[in-house]
């Protein structure tokens, strides 16, 4: 039994009762928040896992093609071909609020809308594998950006869940028991005082009666 160090007075009792009410309410709210966060998080993380597996597969394909391209072409001409990209990408970041967690939402814009602009070189001096590597890479791009967004979101959500869970546990296992115990302690102490007072009064009454009887004799 963990009792706080307080004075067992009536005022303290009402104060603690109020605190207990607030704590219970907070506990319920936080618990709801945790459950909802968890639901969102599990959905997200499941999708995240699938997407990551997909992206990793696709990227491996890109690397394979690249490897062949590098083998076929000299490294100078390969580097030369990729030296000056035609396509630029800019990212627009907004935030979405999931249960008071700000998660990023990524929006990307390519600087050029021509699909062929991902190839920054002429086809004459480069190998076909390079084309397919870059082509696949351009296909992976939306997926990989979504992955970034998802992974960051799940990281942030995980943190928030951890924090919320700690708070819920602190309330549930520390603060609320402490408050109830202290309230019980004060009530008992007050009742004890009451009883003490009553017996004292009875005793005094007895003594007074005794004295009155003696005086009457």
Partner 1 sequence: MYKIGVIGDKDSIMGFKAVGISTFPVSTPLEAQETLEKIADDEYAVVYITEQMAKDIVSTIEQYSERRFPAIIPIPGNAGSLGIGVQGVKKSVERAVGADILFKDE
* Residues of this chain that bind partner 1 (CB under 8 A): 37-38, 41-42, 45-46, 48-49, 52-53, 55-56, 59-60, 62-63, 66-67, 70, 78-79, 82, 85, 87-93, 95, 102, 104, 106, 108, 110-111, 118-120, 133-134, 137-138, 141, 144-145, 147-149, 151-152, 154-159, 161-162, 165
CA angle in degrees (0–180, nearest 5) for 73-79-81: 80
Provide the minimum distance between the beta carbon of 85 and partner 1 in the complex, in angstroms, as a whole number. Answer: 5
Separation of alpha carbons 197 and 189, rounded Å: 12
CB of 2 or CB of 67, closer to partner 1: 67
Provide the minimum distance between the beta carbon of 151 and partner 1 in the complex, in angstroms, as a whole number. Answer: 6
Separation of alpha carbons 165 and 161, rounded Å: 6
CB of 45 or CB of 170, closer to partner 1: 45
Distances (CA, A) of 168 to 79, 154, 178, 179: 56, 20, 15, 15
CB of 92 or CB of 194, closer to partner 1: 92
Beta-bridge partner residues of 6 = none
CB of 12 or CB of 139, closer to partner 1: 139
CB of 119 or CB of 186, closer to partner 1: 119
Provide the minimum distance between the beta carbon of 105 and partner 1 in the complex, in angstroms, as a whole number. Answer: 11
CB of 19 or CB of 52, closer to partner 1: 52
Element (H, E) at 126: none
Separation of alpha carbons 48 and 146, rounded Å: 9
Determine the 3-state secondary structure of 73 from DSSP. coil
Check: CB of residue 73 under 8 Å from CB of residue 128: no
Provide the minimum distance between the beta carbon of 127 and partner 1 in the complex, in angstroms, as a whole number. Answer: 13
Provide the minimum distance between the beta carbon of 52 and partner 1 in the complex, in angstroms, as a whole number. Answer: 5
Provide the minimum distance between the beta carbon of 21 and partner 1 in the complex, in angstroms, as a whole number. Answer: 29
**HSE toward the beta carbon, residue 102, CA cutoff 13 A:** 3
């Amino acid at each position: 039994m963990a009792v706080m160090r307080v004075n067992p007075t009536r005022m303290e009792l009402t104060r603690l009762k109020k605190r207990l009410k607030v704590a219970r309410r907070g506990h319920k709210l936080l618990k709801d928040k945790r459950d909802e966060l968890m639901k969102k998080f599990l959905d997200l993380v499941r999708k995240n896992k699938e997407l990551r597996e997909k992206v990793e597969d696709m990227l491996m394909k890109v690397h394979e093609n690249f490897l062949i391209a590098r083998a076929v072409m000299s490294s100078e001409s390969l580097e030369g071909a990729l030296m000056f990209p035609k396509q630029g990408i800019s990212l627009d970041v907004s935030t979405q609020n999931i249960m008071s967690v700000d998660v990023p939402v990524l929006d990307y814009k390519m600087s050029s809308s021509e699909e062929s602009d991902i190839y920054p070189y002429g086809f004459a001096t480069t190998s076909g594998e390079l084309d397919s590597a870059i082509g696949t890479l351009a296909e992976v791009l939306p997926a990989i950006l979504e992955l970034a967004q998802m992974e960051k979101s799940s990281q942030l959500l995980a943190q928030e869940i951890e924090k919320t869970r700690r708070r819920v546990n602190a309330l549930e296992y520390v603060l609320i028991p402490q408050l109830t115990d202290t309230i019980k302690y004060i009530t008992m102490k007050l009742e004890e005082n009451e009883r003490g007072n009553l017996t004292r009064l009875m005793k005094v009454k007895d003594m007074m009666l005794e004295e009155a009887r003696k005086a009457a004799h």
